[in-house]
Structure 1
Amino acid sequence: MFIPISKLLISDRAGDTPVARISGEDRSFADLTAEIAHLCLHIRSRGVNQVVLATKSSYAFVCGMLAAFQTDCRIIVPPNALPGMLTHFVKMECPLMSDICDIGDDNQIVIDGKSGVEPTFKELDPDQCYLDFYTSGSTGQPKRVPKSLAQIENELIVLDQIFGAKLNGAATLGTVSHQHIFGLYFKCLLPLCEGRVFFPEIFEIWEELLAAAPPRSCFVSSPAHLTRIPPFDPLPHEERTPVIFTAGGPLPFEAAQDASVKFGTLPTEIFGSTETGGVAHRQQKDPRTPFTPLPGVQTRIDTQQLLSVKSIYTDGADWDVTNDIVELLEDGSFILAGRANQFVKIEGKRISLIEVEKYLIQSDYVRDAAVFILKEDRATLVAVVELSAPGWQRHQEIGGFRLNRILRRELSPYLENAALPRRWRFVGRLPINAQGKRQQASLDELFASEEGAD
Structure 2
Amino acid sequence: MNCCDYLFNISNELLDNEVIVDSENGRRYTYRELQIAVKKFAKYLMDRGFKKGSTIAIHLYNGSETVIAYLACQYCGIISCIVDPMFKPFELQYYLEDSKSVCLITFMKNDKDIKEIGLDITIMHDTDVDMVCDGIDFEQIEQEPHDVSEDEVSIILYTSGSTSKPKGVMHNVYRCKAHVAIQQEIGYTFKESDRLVCFVPFSHAYGCVDILFDAMEYGACVVMMRSFQPQKLARLIESEGITHLFGVPTHYAQLLRYDSIIPQLKKLKAAFVAAAPLNHTTAIQWGEKTGIYLNEGYGLSETCTLTIFRDSSIAITPGNVGKPTTKVATVEIVDESGNPLGQNEVGEIRVKGPNVMLGYWNKPEETSKKLKDGWFYTGDFAYKNSNDEFILCGRNTEFINVAGIKVSPIDVESVLNQHPFVSESAVISQKDEMYGEVVKAFVVLKPEKTLTERELIKFVSSKLSSFSVPKSITYIEQFPRNNIGKIDKNALSKY
Q: Which runs of 5+ in 2 are unaligned?
A: 116-120, 336-345, 359-372
Report the equivalent of 1:88: 94
* 1:287 maps to which of 316, 319, 322: 316
Asked if the contact 2:182–2:307 (Cα under 8 Å) also holds between the matched residues in 1, the reply is no
Q: 1:32 aligns with which of 22, 26, 34?
A: 34
Tell me which residue corresponds to 1:107: 122
Aligned residue-pair number:
435
Q: 1:244 aligns to what? A: 271
Partner of 1:299: 331
Are the equivalent residues in 2 in contact too, given 1:385–1:425 (CA < 8 A)?
yes
Structure 1 partner of 2:453: 404
TM-score, with normalisation over the residues of structure 2?
Answer: 0.78
Residue type matched to 1:109 in 2?
M
Corresponding residue to 1:428 among 477, 482, 485 = 477
Whether 1:118 aligns to 2:139 is: yes
1:230 paired to 2:230: no
- Residues in 2 aligned to 1:379 and 1:331: alpha-carbon distance in whole angstroms: 34
Bigger shift: residues 301-310 or 369-378: 369-378
Per-residue deviation, 1:230: 1.4
Between 1:157-166 and 1:73-82, the stretch displaced more is 157-166
> How far did 1:225 drift?
1.5
Distance 1:42 1:149, change over 3 A: same
3-state SS, counterpart of residue 341 of structure 1: coil
Q: RCO greater where, 1 or 2, for CA within 8 Å and sep 6 or more?
A: 2
Unmatched tracts of structure 1, length 5 or more: 396-402, 447-454
Equivalent residues in 2 for 1:50-199, closer than 5 Å: 50-83=55-88, 84-90=90-96, 94-102=102-110, 104-105=114-115, 107-112=122-127, 113-114=130-131, 115=133, 116-120=137-141, 121-127=143-149, 128=152, 130-160=154-184, 162-163=186-187, 165-199=189-223
Deviates more, 1:153-162 or 1:176-185: 153-162
Deviation at 1:146, TM superposition (A): 0.5
**CA distance in 1: counterparts of 2:387 and 2:429, whole angstroms:** 36
TM-score of the aligned structures, taking structure 1 as reference length: 0.84
Alignment of 1:255-334 (within 5 A): 255-277=282-304, 278-283=306-311, 284-288=313-317, 291-294=322-325, 295-303=327-335, 305-315=347-357, 318-328=374-384, 333-334=389-390
CA contact (8 A) 2:234 2:264 kept: no
Question: What is residue 452 of structure 1 aligned with on the other side?
Answer: none
- Using the TM superposition, name which of 29-38 and 232-241 deviates more: 232-241
AA matched with 1:241: L
Deviations 1:89-115 (A, max 9, x none): 336962112344336456322232222
Q: Residues 298 and 47 from structure 1, CA distance in 2 versus in 1: closer, same or farther, beyond 3 angstroms?
A: closer
Report the 3-state secondary structure (helix = DSSP H, G, I; strand = E; otherwise coil) of the residue aligned with 1:65. helix
State the alpha-carbon separation in 1 of the partners of residues 382 and 67 from structure 2.
36
Are residues 376 and 108 of structure 1, via their aligned partners in 2, closer, same or farther at CA, if it must alter by over 3 Å? farther
- CA positional deviation for 1:144: 1.8
Query: C-alpha separation between the residues in 2 aligned to 1:164 and 1:362?
Result: 30
1:65: Cα distance to partner? 1.5
1:249 shift after superposition: 1.8
Q: Percent identity?
A: 18
Q: How does 1:384-395 map onto structure 2 within 5 Å? A: 384-391=442-449, 394=450
Distance 1:279 1:143, change over 3 A: same
Q: Report the counterpart of residue 340 of structure 1 in structure 2.
A: 396
Secondary structure at the counterpart of residue 185 of structure 1: helix
Return the alpha-carbon distance in structure 2 between the equivalents of residues 66 and 237 of structure 1: 32
Q: Confirm or deny: 8 A CA contact 1:140 1:441 kept in the other structure.
A: no
**CA deviation vs aligned residue, 1:389-448 (integer Å, no higher than 9, x gap):** 233xx37xxxxxxx22332232222334443434443222111223121123321232xx
Aligned position for 1:217: 243
